Amino acid sequence: MPLAHGVMGLYAGGGFADQVGDAARLLGVPAAQIKRNARLNVFAAAALLDREIRKDAGLVVRPTTEAIRPALARYAGFSPSPRKSQVEDYARTSFAFDVLLAQDRGINDRGVVVPERAIAWERAFAPQQLITLRAPLVRLDVTRDRIETANYTLDPRSETLVAKAPQPALATPGVARAQPATDVGILSTDYGPALWVASPYYHARSSYSSVTIHTAQGSYAGTISWFRSNPYSVSAHYVIRSSDGQVTQMVRNANAAHHVGAHNGTTLGIEHEGYVNNSSWYTTAMYNSSAALVRNFCSKYSAISCANAYNGPAHSGVVVLPTSVDVKGHQHYSSQDHTDPGINWNWRHYYTLLNPTSGTTTILDTFESSVGHFTTGPAYSGSTTGIAATSSATRDCSIRKGGSCSLRVLLKDNTASSAAWAVRLLSGTGNPGSNTALTRANGQVGFWVYAAGSGISVGLGIDDSDGTERSTSKALAANAWTWVSWSLTDAGQWNAWVNGNGAITASSVKLDAIWLYRAQTAYDVNVYVDDVRASH
């Protein structure tokens, strides 16, 4: 992809827009300074976005956050070609969505804090765009209400908008389709959790014997745009977003993508949003989503074994690994000059995700370095009732059960409601693809919890094959660490929630959420969670 310059990742041509040159003219400074000077780089991005906002809002009106969505889409800096393209529109819309999503969810990770600011998604995007993006329609009380229109409804499990009837772009069941460039946002037929956005750059393959892990050196949306209209005919089978692990497929498994030179015909390629010199892009959600995709490959193709994935230290340069290693990086093939995924990709952790072992303990979150899977605030889910949006979930190192830190969940009452508190503290944003696979057989899922107040009880939500099941609740003693756990094989510990049957029946399941309950109170309540784990 074209090189992105500075902290704001501004392009300077090379196939995308010349944002650096445009900003230099707006600010009256040399382009070289915008590339090198962090302060000017930020001002340059602000000037470019301000220019786009003024096109819509004029010079006086201060627009709402939702109203700047078209300006964000134009600002993205992708292909400057004036030719209309569904894929280009999708990429730009996806960029705008990701910017607004960061505000909606907030960020509290690795020392970076962005306060939550609720986005009214229905004001920013048209209904079909929300469906295509799988945007979360949060803060809707799905336990008491359903949003119904003639064409759309709200899925209470994922809390996303879905179409009641098939949309025109959907494939006809049982009818083979070619690979057009206009099927944007429909579901992949190769991998269920993925969206499908076609790249025109592919060719026939012989067979698959490996999986190649890439780092895009760019954004998720930018990568999708680049694979649609770049001048170099490059592509990959799948692209994965950092923030939530969303997957977009761009080349069918049956075809060869253009991503690793002479080895294209025998390897499936996965691009991961981010940059090799910045480890913060490699999130828990991204690792889990990527590993789930590769496990799917291992189950489909006999020549690819997850047990033969690379399981050693990360490399900064090109290090050729033998052909017996089935899952490895771009830098591990012969005749390469690319060094991704690079020194920050955690191969040993990735190997454990690819090979969950029976009879062991699976650590889901310890909160030692980040909030792990719990990247959204407690009020983020629309299923949550009674608490205010100012409630928060942050890493805290003053109270912990093990190690150095825990997750502090601060619950604040919603003064406009008298409802009891029922908090769906989402794991992996509630997206099963962003959570770690757990084995049902003889399995237990639990965590340590400290309630700094009375009247608190806790439970779990588990994503099963038929829906989401919710556990029975367990009352907590105040001001003490308590270990709570639930058996995945005991139907007496589970109740049907959304589309569930009141029992865990799938062999592989995911943790949907930790549930916190309390009678309504005007006082703030702190709950600390530590060492979320499963044993089997």
Give the length of the chain: 536
Q: Which residues pair with 385 in a beta bridge?
A: 422
Same domain (yes/no): 346, 325: yes
Dihedral over alpha carbons 290, 405, 484, 504 (to 10 degrees):
-10
Domain limits for position 120: 4-163
Q: What angle do CA 190, 194, 199 make, to 5 degrees?
A: 75
- Does residue 173 belong to any structural domain of this protein? no
pLDDT of amino acid 117: 85
Arithmetic mean of pLDDT, 276-294: 91
Q: Which percentage of the chain shows pLDDT scores above 70? A: 90
Are 131 and 161 contacting, i.e. CB atoms less than 8 angstroms apart?
yes
Q: Which of 314, 330, 354 is the last residue of a domain?
A: 354
d(CA 491, CA 15): 57
- Give residue-wise pLDDT tens across range 10-58: 999 998 999 999 999 999 999 999 999 999 999 999 999 999 999 886 6
Phi, psi torsion values for 40, nearest 5 degrees: -70, -30
In a 10 Å sphere around its CB, with 0-12 CB exposed, 13-18 middle and 19+ buried, how is residue 225 labelled? buried
Q: Which of 304, 324, 354 is the last residue of a domain?
A: 354
Dihedral over alpha carbons 354, 292, 230, 282 (to 10 degrees):
-70
Cβ neighbours, 10 Å, residue 505: 15
Q: Compute the radius of gyration of the chain from its Cα atoms.
A: 23
Are 78 and 89 contacting, i.e. CB atoms less than 8 angstroms apart?
no
Least Cα distance to 179 among 162, 159, 166, 197 occurs for 197
pLDDT-derived band at 348 (thresholds 50, 70, 90) equals very high
Dihedral over alpha carbons 6, 9, 10, 13 (to 10 degrees):
110
Q: What angle do CA 276, 277, 278 make, to 5 degrees?
A: 95
Same domain (yes/no): 14, 119: yes
- Strand pairing report for 210-215 and 267-272: parallel
pLDDT-derived band at 83 (thresholds 50, 70, 90) equals low
Same domain (yes/no): 285, 369: no
pLDDT of amino acid 174: 35
Orientation of helix 19-27 relative to helix 38-57, angle to 10°: 90
Same domain (yes/no): 337, 365: no
Q: In this structure, what token pair is assigned to residue 481?
A: 């660490």
Q: Which of 326, 354, 382 is the last residue of a domain?
A: 354
- Does residue 244 belong to any structural domain of this protein? yes
What's the one-letter identity of residue 252? R
CATH of the domain at 528: 2.60.120.260
Least Cα distance to 470 among 457, 484, 481, 460 occurs for 460
- Strand pairing report for 255-257 and 107-109: unpaired
The answer on pLDDT for 177 being more than 70 is no
Same domain (yes/no): 155, 260: no
Pick from 73-77, 112-116, 258-262, 356-360: least confident: 356-360
Same domain (yes/no): 280, 407: no
What's the one-letter identity of residue 256? A
Question: Using H for helix, E for strand and C for coil, what is the string for 30-93?
Answer: CHHHHHHCHHHHHHHHHHHHHHHHHHHHCCCCCCCCHHHHHHHHHHCCCCCCCCCCHHHHHHHH
Same domain (yes/no): 488, 421: yes
Q: In this structure, what token pair is assigned to residue 240?
A: 């994965």
CA dihedral for 329, 331, 332, 336, sign (positive or negative): positive
Same domain (yes/no): 340, 372: no
Are 434 and 384 contacting, i.e. CB atoms less than 8 angstroms apart?
no
Same domain (yes/no): 249, 298: yes
Cβ neighbours, 10 Å, residue 464: 26
Residue pointed to by tokens 């074994």:
305
d(CA 399, CA 392): 16
Dihedral over alpha carbons 471, 476, 481, 487 (to 10 degrees):
-20
- Does residue 399 belong to any structural domain of this protein? yes
pLDDT-derived band at 104 (thresholds 50, 70, 90) equals confident
CATH of the domain at 242: 3.40.80.10
- Does residue 176 belong to any structural domain of this protein? no
- Does residue 56 belong to any structural domain of this protein? yes
Same domain (yes/no): 451, 349: no
d(CA 84, CA 181): 12
Contacts 24+ apart (CB under 8 A), 169-177: none
- Does residue 177 belong to any structural domain of this protein? no
| DSSP 8-state secondary structure symbol assigned to residue 332 | G
In a 10 Å sphere around its CB, with 0-12 CB exposed, 13-18 middle and 19+ buried, how is residue 82 labelled? exposed
- Does residue 26 belong to any structural domain of this protein? yes
Q: In this structure, what token pair is assigned to residue 197?
A: 């956005």
pLDDT-derived band at 527 (thresholds 50, 70, 90) equals very high
In a 10 Å sphere around its CB, with 0-12 CB exposed, 13-18 middle and 19+ buried, how is residue 148 labelled? exposed
Orientation of helix 220-229 relative to helix 86-105, angle to 10°: 180
Same domain (yes/no): 209, 322: yes
What's the one-letter identity of residue 149? T
The residue ranking higher by pLDDT, 236 or 148, is: 236
Same domain (yes/no): 226, 150: no
d(CA 312, CA 347): 6
Are 403 and 442 contacting, i.e. CB atoms less than 8 angstroms apart?
no
In a 10 Å sphere around its CB, with 0-12 CB exposed, 13-18 middle and 19+ buried, how is residue 29 labelled? middle
pLDDT-derived band at 178 (thresholds 50, 70, 90) equals very low
pLDDT-derived band at 172 (thresholds 50, 70, 90) equals very low
d(CA 387, CA 201): 49
pLDDT of amino acid 190: 92
Number of domains the chain is built from: 3
Least Cα distance to 243 among 277, 211, 289 occurs for 289
Cβ neighbours, 10 Å, residue 45: 20
pTM of this structure: 0.83
- Give residue-wise pLDDT tens across range 137-163: 655 444 444 556 667 777 777 878 777
d(CA 206, CA 468): 40
- Does residue 59 belong to any structural domain of this protein? yes
Mean pLDDT of the chain: 88
pLDDT-derived band at 514 (thresholds 50, 70, 90) equals very high
**Which residues have a Cβ under 8 Å from the Cβ of 73 and sit 6 or more positions away?**
89, 92, 93, 95, 96
Are 329 and 259 contacting, i.e. CB atoms less than 8 angstroms apart?
no
Are 75 and 216 contacting, i.e. CB atoms less than 8 angstroms apart?
no
